[in-house]
Amino acid sequence: MRTDLIKLVLLLIVLAVVVILAGYFGGGERTPGGFDHNPQGAPSHNAPGESDRGPQEEAGRNPPGRFDYYLLVLGWSPTYCASERHDRSDQQCETQHPRSFVLHGLWPQYERGWPKDCATGAWPWVPRPVIDKMLDVMPSTHLIIHEYQTHGTCSGLGPTEYFSAARELYDRVRIPSRYADPATRLEASPDEIERDFVAANPWLKPDMMAVACRGEDLLDVRFCFGRDLAPRPCGANEDEKRLSRQDTVSLRPAEAGR
The residues assigned a catalytic role are 104, 147, 151
Report how far residue 49's alpha carbon sits from residue 72's, in angstroms, rounded to the nearest whole number.
26
Helix (H) and strand (E) counts in the chain? 8, 6
Name residues whose C-beta falls within 8 Å of residue 203's C-beta, 6 or more positions apart in sequence.
231
Report which DSSP code applies to 100: S
Calculate helix-pair angle for 159-172, 141-150, nearest 10 degrees: 110
Give the number of C-alpha atoms closer than 13 A to the C-alpha of residue 71, restricted to the C-beta side.
Answer: 30
Which whole-number Å values give the CA distances from 2 to 5, 6, 7, 9, 62, in the listed order?
A: 5, 6, 9, 11, 46
Which of 247, 233, 249, 190 lies closest to 71 in space, CA to CA? Answer: 233
Write the DSSP assignment of 177-228 as a string of letters: GGGS-TTS-EEE-HHHHHHHHHHH-TT--GGGEEEEEETTEEEEEEEEEETT
Phi, psi for residue 47 in degrees, rounded to 5? -65, 150
